Structure 1
Amino acid sequence: MRLHGLVTFAAAVVFWLGPAMAQQVEVPNFWDQHQRVSRPDLSERRQIRFLTSVDFPPFNFLNDRGRLSGFHVDLARAICAELGVTDRCQIQAMPFRDLGPALKAKKGDAILAGLAVTPENRREFAFTQPFFRFPARFITLKEKPLAEPMVSSLSAKTVAVVAGSAHEAMFAAFFPGLLAKPFPTRQDALEALKAGTVDALFGDGVDLSFWLSSNDAGGCCVFSGGPYLSDRFLGEGLAIAVSPDDAELATAFDYAIGRVVAKGGFSELLLRYFPVSAF
């Protein structure tokens, strides 16, 4: 099961990351740089084989030349560079449904493709620490931006949500005083916002970041308030899965990702793949 958009955890952990100005480049840091992880010794490993898919843009996809590309792909290469195993690093793509069986069959060493960090998957795989979180965001018309606190800014106003979505449930739980108007589809909710029949839309920040930069949006709208994170409604975030008997490799990846973050490489990846910051 892929992480994005799922309700996966029972205990709510919600953070407000501060007022991210719409259209500014905001680079979050989900990594505790006070951690002290020792440099791993991978000299005994003949190779490190990452497994991914091609259907999760901008994280993994085929570019216009048919080459495997994306945030995950570049992150895997950066990890291998930090671990000094670039010459032993392989990245293989396959259908998402085949990733778990392939790892269990020892046809790869790690899954880097958005596998959900759920209790069920934790029984089958070991995971690194999360390196990316999916934010929820409000968007509004550009000429009618709103600022925190959104509870006050949206008082007596109407917020579009997609009916039955994790974001509808999250909105109801954390903004109980605000009026939500459910729409059957994302497109219906976006059209209502553009038409001005609702005052804001609450949804997936990553998806909305790409919509804001699209021709469909036509420069109509901006982020307002937030971003917001919730383990209960949006999951723990993106992490790398390895075999449960290979936790040492997960620790090695944690070390490498920490180094990528510290050197600014992670920020460069975010800026490369997110034309409008989701944060």
Structure 2
Amino acid sequence: MSDILGHHFKRMNQHTLSWLPSQHRDSFSSSTRNMLKGKQDLLEQTPRVYLAFLYTFSGTDKPTVGSIRTTNIGDQTLSLMAEIGLFRWQPEGGGGHWLLYDTLYMCPEDRRPFLPSTLVLVGLEGYRFDNPRKRKPDCTFDTAVKRLARETDLSSMTVRVEGDLVELIRDRTSQVRAGYSLKRALDKISEYGHGVGQFTGAQVCERHFKPSNMVNTTSYTDRTTGKLTAATLKLVRLRTVAVPSTLLDCPAYLSAPQIHTSQEAPDEKMRREAAALQDAISKFIETHQSK
């Protein structure tokens, strides 16, 4: 946490995910650092979902959450059992504890030991299922990817993790994902944004994952004036698997992905939508700044 708050969370240190394409590492690092620091200041506590992500991947040179035993139990359901890794189970003391880097981690929110199922889920979130590089033959990623490799983007299956059933969704390709991100960004700006020009280059932090954490306002620093500005946003609770935004200046996590139902090819439709939305956003911002 000290690295993040001290702006040492960079693309070339041990915190950067080695399997991320080089062109996305800066975006990942800056978005994660800004969201962590934003929520830390706003809630006066560390959001555990991001800590889980960092603890899962930091300090390792390959994208793995440890040795994982995967079993097909029928009905398109996989059973994932976490065994060892950066986190491990210590049976002694109070019914047992989960250790991260051999240190007992207590959640700031409810003071209960962190559950490894969340770490496994976070490890699967945002993974490029259409990208076979840097996967070990017997890891969870490889097994899950093989099951969804023959399906289309946004296909899903039921996965059992630590006794809980969750939906595992195949990630979008970069072009399709960029189109969805642009569409969500335009919706946020046109409906809920106040001072649209100020959103360019601004760092906005969403609160999510728990209904009790839902708020309608957030704040950011305007790079032009240096003032702290309040912005009204509609904050949507995410589904279990969230999709990171590919835009540098947009919130890293937005609303849950929607299943594509159109008969038109998704790639072609998203390319056309992306071009149209980029033009609309540019014109909207130019109009605001000229006033």
Give TM class, smaller chain: under 0.3
Question: Which one has a larger percent strand, Structure 1 or Structure 2?
Answer: 1
Q: TM-score, normalised by structure 1?
A: 0.26
Greater relative contact order (Cα 8 A, min sep 6): structure 1 or 2? 1
Q: TM-score, normalised by structure 2?
A: 0.25
